[in-house]
Amino acid sequence: MLNITEQARVRTVALNRPEALNAFNKRQFDEVAEAFLAAKADAECRVLVLTGAGRAFSAGADLGPTTDYQPVHGLDGMLHAIVDFPKPFVLAINGLGVGIGATLTGLADFVFMAQSARLRCPFSTLGLVAEAGSTRTFPALMGRQRAMWFLMASEWMSATQCKEAGLALEVFADDGFMDAVHEKAAYLAGLPSESLTSAKRLIIDASERGRLKTVIAAENAALAKLSGGPANLEAVAAFREKREADFSNL
């Protein structure tokens, strides 16, 4: 369910379940983890670009019925593979990003967004809480007030707002978006690889990588506690019954 291509030492990994707006299911967590591990091991790959096929980047975690697929890496394994990825990691947000489709931006080295793309962290409206290290990465990128609002209020942020906030490095026109991203990525891929990996290892050092994994674990523990709780159940019920959720007594 990934579409992987390579050009000019830039490996492009596209989430490829457009019919589900590229929502992550257990299998996709594993496949993305494997893609990062393979790109790390392959000297021919200098830069990894993650994007989505079709009109969305990713609608988040798949809330559909769980299959009997046995995960190898899981969400945690995917996030650790990203945190430990030593080469430039470019995120090309081609369309909407929701939930983990939004929080992944905090783990990317460079985020480029299509003009019409937008991000949303709907955790609070689901009775849940943010993940993917975003409770640490977002305040560092945007400042605590903006990050807390984005993580708590479940509102959309446009590409322009993301750039102003520091969550995206640049916004490109929808037309030719991937070409513009590839130009940036190919430029990086043409520079001495060891200079780039040395710089990344200094900017995100072992202590910061360890800290991110600790935060990811704390987020997952909070998520596990809230999942299936009263607010989460009310949110799911309201969604099914096509009504507004009522959290006033919770």
Residue ranges in contact with its own copies by CB under 8 A: 9, 88, 108-111, 123-130, 135-136, 139-149, 151-154, 166, 168-169, 187-188, 190-196, 198-205, 215, 218-219, 222, 225-226, 229, 231, 235, 247-248, 250
What's the closest the beta carbon of residue 240 comes to its own copies, in angstroms? 17
Give the shortest CB-6-to-its own copies separation in angstroms.
Answer: 14
Residue 21 or residue 212: which is nearer to its own copies going by CB?
A: 212
Give whichever of 35 and 129 is closer to its own copies, judged by the CB atom.
129
For residue 126, the minimal CB distance to its own copies (Å) is 8
Q: Specify the residue, 81 or 151, whose C-beta has the smaller distance to its own copies.
A: 151
Give the shortest CB-110-to-its own copies separation in angstroms.
6
Give 2 or 238: the residue with its C-beta nearer to its own copies: 238
Nearest CB to its own copies, comparing residues 173 and 199: 199
Q: Which residues of 196-229 are buried (b: 16+ CB within 10 A; e: fewer)?
A: beeebeeebeeeeeeebbebbeebbeebeebeee
Instruction: Using the minimum distance from each CB to its own copies, give the nearer residue, 67 or 144.
Output: 144
Torsions phi, psi of 97, nearest 5? -130, 125
Q: CA-CA distance, 17 to 14, in Å (whole number)?
A: 9
What residue type is assigned to position 64 of the chain?
G
- Min separation Cβ 76 and its own copies, Å: 16
CB of 193 to its own copies, least distance (A): 7
